[in-house]
Amino acid sequence: MADVEQNGRSGVNWWIRIHRWFWLKRLTLKGAILALTVFAVCFPRPVLLMRHIQRWSDPNALIEPNSPHIESLVEELLASQPVGTNGIEDAKRTLLAVQELVYKKLPYAFDWVTWGMADYLPTVEEAMEMGREDCDGRAVVGASILSRLGFEPRLVSDGAHVWVWTPQGETMSPGRVGTLEATPTGFKINWGGLWTLPRIAAVNASLFPLVRELIILAVLWGLMLQPVMSKRRMFTVGLLLLGALFLLRYGGAHHRGGGMWAVWFGIATLSLVVYLGVVSSWRQIKESAG
């Protein structure tokens, strides 16, 4: 029993000593712990994560017009209707037909369901073999078909959704603002589209498993605690974190139906958490040191 109590005191003393470190050293340690937690929870398959990062360095390289895995799709498309890139109406009709065909052949499934990852950019072969995909896998397949038909497609993303751009128009459910476009000379960033980041974060939060988000939340809460905090403040910070998470999840799930109020309310709640958990505590530490 005495050993248990001694170990408990050692843990508390260790925690207190960390909070006496220089703030930058302490922040670096906590940031590293949080980052490792996020990666372990969101990307538990390191091999797939490395592929994902590598592919996003040049996502257009995944466009494969000669892939045998789209052969049947191209044949079905050509047999159902005329396609073309010359006239505007022909091009629009083809873009829509490709979208409908890919959506039919690849039912939507979140990457966590298909790959056990928060996000994964597949090849044409991987997407077709799995038989289901989310927006990025569908976009890769759609762009490959369009390239086979004579279009010049590129992949575009707003951070939450990926679709296909061509000189004749966009397809695969294009978003309102493309913040990131893969071009032959590198990535093109639309800085004016950064205002959509809160919506993007909320949409991703609404799709990810709640249990895993709660793990990240619990670690974040623990990292925000300070020795100078009262139990009441510790409880308040944890409660506000929970409230912010559920507001973001609700807003992300209903962002098209007027749910953005919840997203902004959730961001305001997070701002209050930062004040209570960090700014206010630093002030208390300085006052106690003085």
Spell out the domains of the chain, with CATH numbers in brackets.
53-189 (3.10.620), 194-290 (no CATH)
Q: What is the per-residue pLDDT across 216-251, written as a single tens digit (0 to 9) for each?
A: 999 999 998 888 788 898 899 999 999 999 999 999
Q: Assess whether pLDDT exceeds 50 at residue 4.
A: no
The token pair at 213 is 């988000």
Q: Is the pLDDT of residue 144 over 50?
A: yes
Residues 234, 226: Cα–Cα separation, whole Å: 9
Q: What are phi and psi of 108, to 5 degrees?
A: -70, 135
pTM for this entry? 0.82
Instruction: Note the pLDDT tens digit of each residue in 254-287.
Output: 987 888 999 999 999 999 888 877 765 565 555 4
Is residue 10's pLDDT more than 80? Answer: no
Q: CA triplet 262, 205, 186: central angle to 5 degrees?
A: 115
**Above 90 in pLDDT, residue 209?**
yes
Contact 206, 252 (CB under 8 A): yes
Helix ranges restricted to H, the chain: 2-18, 23-42, 46-56, 71-80, 88-105, 111-115, 124-130, 135-148, 197-207, 210-224, 231-253, 260-274, 280-289
Asked if pLDDT for residue 93 goes beyond 50, the answer is: yes
The amino acid that residue 177 corresponds to is V
Question: Would you state the torsion angle of the CA atoms of residues 101, 97, 70, 60, taken in this order, to the nearest 10 degrees?
Answer: -110
| Mean confidence (pLDDT) of the chain | 86
- Point out the least confidently predicted range of 171-185, 203-217, 255-269: 171-185
Q: At 96, is the pLDDT very low, low, confident or very high (cuts 50, 70, 90)?
A: very high
Give me the phi and psi of 183, to 5 degrees please.
-115, 165
Across 112-120, average pLDDT: 95
- d(Cα 115, Cα 106) in Å, to the nearest integer? 15
Asked if 260 contacts 250 with a C-beta cutoff of 8 angstroms, the reply is no
